[in-house]
Amino acid sequence: MTVKRKKLILVGNGMAGVRAIEHLLKLAPEAYEITIFGTEPYPNYNRIMLSSVLAGGASLDEIVINDLEWYRSFNITLYTGHTVTSIDTAARTVYTNKGVTAAYDELILATGSNPFMLPIPGTEKEGVIAFRDIKDTEIMQDVSQKYSKALVIGGGLLGLEAARGLLHLGMDVSVVHIHEYIMERQLDEAASRMLRGELEAQGMKFLLKKQSEAILGKKRVKGLLFADGEMAEADLIVMAVGIKPNVELARSSGIEVNRGIVVNDYMETSLPGIYAVGECAEHRGIAYGLVAPLYEQGAVLAKRLAGAPTEGYAGSVTSTKLKVSGVDVFSAGQYNEQPGTKALRFQDETEGIYKKLVIQEDKLIGAVLFGDTNDGAQLFSMIKKGENIKGREKELLLGLEADALAAPKGNRLEGMPDDEIICGCNGVTKGTIAEAITAGGCTSVGQIKACTKASASCGGCKPLVEGLLQLYAGEAAVTVKEGICGCTTLGRDEIVAEIKRMKLTTVKEVMHVLSWSNEEGCPKCRPSLNYYLGMLWPEEYVDENESRYTNERYHANIQKDGTYSVVPRIYGGVTSPAELIKIAEVAVKYDVPLVKFTGGQRLDLLGVKKEDLPKMWEELDMPSGHAYGKTLRTVKTCVGSTFCRFGTQDALGMGIRLEKAFERLNAPGKVKLAVSGCPRNCAEATIKDFGVVAIDGGWELHVGGNGGVHVRATDLLCVVKTDDEVLEWASAFLQYYREQAGWNERTAQWIERVDLDSIKQALESPEERAALVERIQKTLSLTTDPWKQIVNTPELRKNFEVISLPETV
């Protein structure tokens, strides 16, 4: 007899709520029919890693915790881009802003929190934002391309991470903080001052003891006025001054609300069948903002929903282990001295190490570590257990590795309680890791990472994971060489060599023959294998659309609201009145909300509906500018000798020739070219992947530039005399890059890895250059504009509608 499943709705697709669902699926996989509503147009992602995305250290795909396939595999109905606006608690029904109505038997509110915006004049101005989600990250990245000065209000962790990301983006950044030292909630004054010194050495500036009074400017922000009458200029102001629980939905539904949604020890709200978890919940008067307590709440809630025994949630003693702009810091408990306490300190400014222990009645009640945080987990365990440390104070201060402790690392980890959080980013406990090793058969850090997600984010917990592996696996523990992703131990060169040797021709075949641990692959390896196969077998290989990133599958850039950006190719930035009229007519017909000139001298039609994409391209009848792919993006030009009195060569003609030669070229990373008609370099050719600069009687060819997050000036490859030689060397260089670089490796990174001299040596032979040119021309001859295929093939147009990103999964 089939038992009817109860309907469970989760409002909020964030880390806390989805973690509760993960636990529930393990405890009672068939008990509920699950529906999830998320306001953002993305699957569940790791918000902690947004600072890495901002700084360019990670992509959106890399911070996704559960991809769309995960929801499908558990038959979860996911509504992305939907905000639940009201709840009929009597009828047990929720309603969204897009007209969806859904009934529930049990309801979880995981609405998270909202950024707190200072109530000062001017917060509505353009250029004033918070730092809370992917949308904010994208705005900061966009602003950094156009403006130079940024102010971050808030000297806490979030503010410093935002500031560090903006520094990476090339902005002049100052942190404004009302307190006399930064991160006062996590660090004492001595550790804070050491951290400030490290950050100032990285280029960050600080305006401390400053109270913000008003934001200056007309439409767009121009500066910030302080209460003392001083002013700081700014093109961008990021507010990172705190968060407040998002309780409006609960309040309007008649659920008891204080600062957060009031819950009991079982995460139950004041109304039956409704629960709350995460930053929106208030338990025993406390609303937690750290990951570990929220995951603990989720585990209790899952047991409650599954009918499993649970003692309930009793609150959390919190600790903070962070990496702030590359600097390790840790704090736990009561780390500032109070009456009746005593403090022990160790400070070595040469090595950048600071340690402080706060003791009361022979018990450790607080600790601060700076620079060396290896002992943090053990100290935190002592704080939680209220362990008596009389006689061991100095040994603890000097480090748990000190001889005086005479305790091997394994024994200390063995004494750690099972509920101790090892991986703060993903809320993984010691007990979970131990079970993965002893019961799950994990014998390497990579396997533990794949099984539990421990060390999968910032990597700061990897030494503890390694220690637990040695403790529980013993001699069975193995050190596994890391491959291109967690699915394989093989690196790029090994994979390419095996594909050649065994003539492997499909992604599935590569994974099967080369013994992938995950037979379906992952978002890292599937696109890379798809590229390597296409690069090696351009005539035989059929590109796998499903192995490409979202933007490449839909041939347009998805925007924060779920619409798309269409960028037709405009060769060398040169257009005509007739072409402009056609673009304008299409933009009017399809109600395009914004048409913008890009930095690459093209027109960007933003806000296009998904269903309009094929029809728009058909009516534009222009090649795609490939603003979405790992391919040739643009060839930026100046007017050169055609109009400019300083021009020595025809930059326009050369730029158009290069762009027409290499459009549709698939590459390991995106490729940008530029041609300047004289050494004044108005087209900025010396920060492009391949830059051409005119000189008297010839051209300088530059390679390996990058104008993005990590700015890199080009290296001079060679000097040539004729236009044909420019095309020859560009072809040879780009094909050599295609064949030798790793997937997702830009030319700047590739050249720094392999050294310019080795590239020059590979290209110096006319015969080798000719062979490379022949191979790239062969590849290009087999490519067509993707929109031509979609427009001219009814079946493809039909398929496009099917594979487009859905609002529900």
Domains 6-112+245-306 and 631-784 share a fold: no
What's the pLDDT at 790?
A: 64
Which of 294-298, 415-419, 615-619 is least confident? 415-419
> pLDDT band at 645, cuts 50/70/90?
confident
With vertex at residue 728, the alpha carbon angle to CA 770 and CA 665, rounded to the nearest 5 degrees, is 95
∠ CA 625-631-636, rounded to 5°: 55
Average pLDDT over residues 558-568: 75
Which of the two residues, 417 and 402, has the higher pLDDT score? 417
Note the pLDDT of residue 482.
67
Q: Mean pLDDT over residues 781-805, rounded?
A: 61
How does residue 52 score in pLDDT terms, banded at 50, 70 and 90?
A: confident
689-713 confidence digits (pLDDT tens): 999 999 988 999 999 998 865 678 9
CATH code of the domain occupying 631-784? 3.30.413.10
**Picking from 160-169, 577-586, 674-683, 764-773, which range would have the lowest pLDDT averaged per residue?**
160-169
Percent of the residues in the chain that have a pLDDT greater than 90, as a whole number: 46
**Is 806's pLDDT higher than 50?**
no
Residue 225's CB: how many other CB atoms inside 10 A? 17
Q: Residue 399: pLDDT band by 50, 70, 90 thresholds?
A: low
pLDDT score of 403 more than 50: no
At 81-92, the pLDDT tens digits run: 999 999 999 999
Q: How confident is the model at residue 458 (pLDDT cuts 50, 70, 90)?
A: low
Higher pLDDT, 548 or 199: 199
Q: Does domain 6-112+245-306 have CATH number 3.50.50.60?
A: yes
Decide if 751 contacts 703 (C-beta within 8 A). yes
Q: Which residues, in sequence order, are CB contacts of 438 under 8 Å at separation 6+?
A: 472
pLDDT for 546 beyond 50: yes
Residues 349-397: pLDDT tens digits?
777 888 999 999 999 998 988 888 878 877 887 888 888 888 888 888 8
Fold of 128-241: FAD/NAD(P)-binding domain (3.50.50)
- Given pLDDT bands bounded at 50, 70 and 90, which one contains residue 418? confident
Pairing type for strands 319-324 and 274-276 reads: unpaired
Name the residue with higher pLDDT: 808 or 787. Answer: 787
Strands laid side by side in the 205-208 sheet: 128-130, 236-239, 149-153, 172-177, 205-208
Per-residue pLDDT, 710: 66
Q: Is the pLDDT reported for residue 408 higher than 50?
A: no
Q: What stretches of 165-216 adopt beta strand conformation (E)?
A: 172-177, 205-208, 212-216
Cα torsion at 60, 65, 70, 71 (round to 10°)? -90
- Summarised one tens digit per residue, pLDDT across range 473-512 is 888 887 766 677 778 888 888 999 999 999 999 999 999 8
**Helix (DSSP H) and strand (DSSP E) numbers for the chain:** 28, 36
Q: 118, 153 in Cβ contact below 8 A?
A: yes
In this predicted structure, the answer to whether residue 557 has a pLDDT above a threshold of 70 is yes
d(CA 250, CA 136): 25
| pTM passes above 0.85 | no
| Strands (DSSP E) found in 657-793 | 671-676, 690-695, 698-703, 715-720
In the prediction, which pLDDT does 677 show?
93
Q: How many CA atoms lie within 13 A of 690 on its CB side?
A: 27
Sketch the domain layout of the chain as residue ranges: 6-112+245-306, 128-241, 492-548, 631-784
- Side chain identity at 750, as an amino acid letter? W
* Residue 770 scores a pLDDT above 90: yes
Instruction: State how far the Cα of 531 lies from the Cα of 121, in Å rounded to an integer.
Output: 51
Per-residue pLDDT at 102 exceeds 50: yes
Distance CA 212, CA 215 (A): 8
Are 667 and 701 within 8 A, CB to CB? no
765 has pLDDT over 70 = yes
Rounded to whole angstroms, the Cα distance separating 746 from 29 reads 43
Q: Is the pLDDT of residue 56 over 70?
A: no
Residue 80 is predicted with a pLDDT of 94
More confident residue, 157 or 787: 157
Within 10 Å of residue 122's Cβ, how many Cβ atoms? 19
Evaluated on CA atoms 772, 776, 781, 782, the torsion sign reads positive
Q: Is 595 helix (H, G, I), strand (E, B) or coil?
A: strand
More confident residue, 537 or 798: 537
The mean predicted confidence, pLDDT, of the chain is 86
How far is 558 from 564, CA to CA, in rounded Å? 4
